[in-house]
Amino acid sequence: FKDDRQALSRAMMDLYKKEKINPAAGCLPLFIQMPFFFAFYWVLIESVELRQQPFIFWVDDLSARDPFFILPIINCIAMVLQMRLQPTPADPTQAKVMKIMPVAFSAMFAFFPSGLVLYWTTNALFSIIQQWRINKIIGGNAPSASLGS
């Protein structure tokens, strides 16, 4: 499967069917995380103590959006890297959606509080490290892990 992403995707789908695994179950951690995400958003928006409190480098206020859009750009890059470490979805529509998501999320994050974008970006960076380690343990990188494809 090293050079054939489609064959890998088909084999993965066959394995999911054989073992009765729902590929969407991978979204469960995100759904568990969503209430905390919304609560964190409102804490950053409503917290008076966080206003105008410096954090690091260019981020002067974690409750305000990033004035230079650096965090959303870093987040976009992290999401692209994270996507590249995953096997290519068998469904072409899902593959297109996965390619659009980093740009869409980064556009949304341009208007979110910096603290929230920092949280999401940190989560993406830890996910990259985790997926890279998993790929290394199971015998090499996933076929889509190369940045040139």
* Residue 14: pLDDT band with limits 50, 70, 90: confident
30 vs 13 pLDDT, higher one: 13
pTM comes to 0.59
2 vs 67 pLDDT, higher one: 67
Q: Is the pLDDT of residue 134 over 80?
A: yes
The two structure tokens encoding residue 70: 């650096």
Domains of the chain, by residue range, sit at: 5-145
131 vs 24 pLDDT, higher one: 131
80 vs 86 pLDDT, higher one: 80
